[in-house]
Amino acid sequence: MNSSLVRSILTTLGVAAIVIGGVFTGQGAGLIPGSFMTGDPTWLVIGLILVAVGVVLLVLGLRRPRR
């Protein structure tokens, strides 16, 4: 596989995980109403974990390749 393709995939997955994790966190914290997840601390924890995974993927995708 091409290194730039892998980096693009990692970056895309990282951004998606951060966005989805942010929504889960907002719903778990009760900031985004209208769902069965609203106010449920389980979704707050799941969202925070997903955001952390997304940050790791994003960092891996944006790192400069070794020479």
pTM here? 0.89
pLDDT for position 21: 98
pLDDT for position 3: 86
40 phi and psi angles, rounded to 5 deg: -95, 115
- pLDDT tens for each residue of 23-45: 999 999 999 999 898 999 999 99
Distance CA 3, CA 64 (A): 11
- pLDDT tens for each residue of 4-27: 899 999 999 999 999 999 999 999
